Amino acid sequence: YRDKFLNMELERKIKEKDKEKQIQKEKENYEKLNEQVKLAILGDGKAKLKVVEMLSPLIKYSIKRYCPIYKEYQDLYQDSVLIVLNCLENFDQKRSFPKYVKSYLRYFLLDTFRYLSQKPDMDSKDKEGEDILEKIEDNINIEKEYERKLENIALTKAIKELPPRQRQIIVLYYLENMSIKEIGQKMAISKWTVVSAKKKALKKLRSKINDNR
């Protein structure tokens, strides 16, 4: 029993040590990213490329989670890179840059998924029938599980604070999976009014979520 206890204690200490190393590594990666972000904001081209490289796992994770359509992966990745670069142009340095990028990627990819998923030939399978997105590495050291939960809470609160029409459109579109045309028919408004209201709602949601960070 003594040997068994010693082995268990040793195993526990090894796990604790590994966890400490992982936390330290995450902290170092985050600090390195912040350094590159600051340089990129000042116009350093190499730093911009480095930021994109460091956030590549976040881009892949976001595509896999929010727009898992294999045939469009390359285009989705390139569009997401442009979003990262655009975020660098508009970043106010008052919040976490990875979280700032993540919110923009999420809204863009969800919107894109709704559009692309209406096409019957879109899927996430390769020629062998395997899900290619399962092969995409999505290990993101920067992101924390509790941050994701807080974002979900902030999003729910922000949706409740939208004007009635905008709130209804967001709920029908994202939660009830209704198309723009179906929403227009249900609410007796034109599809262009639906599109306009949805864009305004998303802009407000982004603003409210960013303000809560």
pLDDT score of 83 more than 70 = yes
Q: What pLDDT digit, counting tens, does each position of 14-64 carry?
A: 666 666 666 666 677 678 888 899 999 888 888 999 999 989 989 998 998
pLDDT score of 164 more than 70 = yes
In this prediction, residue 130 carries a pLDDT of 53
Give the mean pLDDT of the chain.
76
pLDDT score of 212 more than 70 = no
Asked whether the whole model's pTM tops 0.75, one would answer no
CA distance 184 to 121: 26
pLDDT score of 2 more than 80 = no
Phi, psi at 170, each rounded to 5°: -60, -45
Lowest mean pLDDT among 31-40, 109-118, 136-145: 136-145
